[in-house]
């Protein structure tokens, strides 16, 4: 078995993000938006309800306060402000999940915050310690092969190494910026092949064609990728075969 996670619950008000209903049967972990890049209380609650019904591992998906930019724009925040923002979002998810009889297992930062933690050790430490302040039992999900692992381990917490089915990597093992051609994989077969290579060979091929070593515990498909359902079906078909 492999763990397939997806960013979900990102719709808010009248705005529909992703195709959550169709994705639930194909994933094993669910990263639920906390309202700062997407999600509102009702969509969050309904997503938790469906995640529990499908017996999924549930994670919080906090972000910079960037609803207009869907959390994909880098923001300059003080350590105190960032820490408070993380605590606020994670605490809200814990409360909602537990009120429905579930348990929050991990935290996966979203978008620009996730990528910034790969580059900025101080920011990564701020986020990890904020999560620990809420509950040291929570795991931290971050980019496989990044400094986030060492920072999480130093805090005495569990790290979940994550790789991406629907994103390309550069030669440094970082995600290719979304604005660059080919950064997001829309071809279901290509995405399934990338996951197959990562699982069976513990490596991947960068967008420039370089072979990179990579060992991951969980594999992400973005819920707002129009090809998400097709990608998940392709992964299931390939591994079943």
What range defines the domain where residue 91 resides?
Answer: 3-163+215-224
Q: What is the CATH number of the domain that holds 47?
A: 3.20.20.370
Beta bridge partners of residue 12, listed in sequence order: 15
Q: Is 104 helix (H, G, I), strand (E, B) or coil?
A: strand
The answer to whether residue 42 is domain-embedded is yes
Going by C-beta distance under 8 Å and a sequence separation of 6 or more, which residues neighbour residue 52?
Answer: 58, 100, 101, 102
The answer to whether residue 199 is domain-embedded is no
Q: Is 67 helix (H, G, I), strand (E, B) or coil?
A: coil
- pLDDT tens digit at each of 241 positions of the chain: 799 999 999 999 989 888 899 999 999 999 999 999 999 999 999 999 999 999 999 999 999 999 999 999 999 999 999 999 999 999 999 999 999 999 999 999 999 999 999 999 999 999 999 999 999 999 999 999 999 999 999 999 999 999 999 999 999 888 898 889 999 999 999 999 999 999 999 999 999 999 999 999 999 998 888 899 999 999 999 998 8
The answer to whether residue 116 is domain-embedded is yes
Q: Is the dihedral of CA 115, 119, 122, 125 positive or negative?
A: positive
The answer to whether residue 229 is domain-embedded is no
The answer to whether residue 35 is domain-embedded is yes
The answer to whether residue 63 is domain-embedded is yes
Q: Is 100 helix (H, G, I), strand (E, B) or coil?
A: coil
């Amino acid at each position: 078995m492999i763990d397939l996670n997806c960013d979900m619950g990102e719709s808010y008000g009248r705005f529909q993000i992703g195709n959550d209903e169709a994705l639930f049967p194909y994933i094993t972990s669910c990263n639920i938006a906390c309202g700062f890049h997407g999600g509102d209380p009702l969509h969050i609650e309904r997503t938790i309800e469906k995640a529990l019904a499908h017996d999924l591992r549930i994670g919080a998906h906090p972000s910079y306060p960037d609803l207009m930019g869907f959390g994909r724009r880098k923001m300059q925040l003080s350590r105190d402000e960032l820490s408070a923002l993380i605590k606020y979002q994670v605490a809200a998810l814990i409360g909602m999940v537990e009120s429905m009889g579930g348990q929050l297992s991990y935290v996966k930062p979203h978008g620009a915050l996730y990528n910034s933690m790969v580059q900025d050790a101080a920011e990564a430490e701020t986020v990890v310690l904020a999560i620990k302040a809420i509950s040291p039992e929570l795991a931290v999900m971050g980019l496989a092969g990044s400094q986030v692992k060492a920072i999480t381990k130093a805090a005495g917490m569990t790290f979940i190494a994550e790789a991406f089915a629907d994103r390309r990597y550069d030669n440094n093992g970082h995600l290719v910026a979304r604005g660059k051609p080919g950064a997001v994989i829309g071809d279901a077969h290509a995405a399934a092949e990338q996951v197959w290579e990562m699982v069976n060979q513990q490596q991947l091929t960068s967008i420039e064609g370089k072979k990179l070593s990579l060992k991951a515990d969980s594999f992400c498909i973005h819920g707002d990728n129009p090809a998400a359902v097709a990608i998940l079906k392709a992964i299931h078909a390939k591994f079943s075969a």
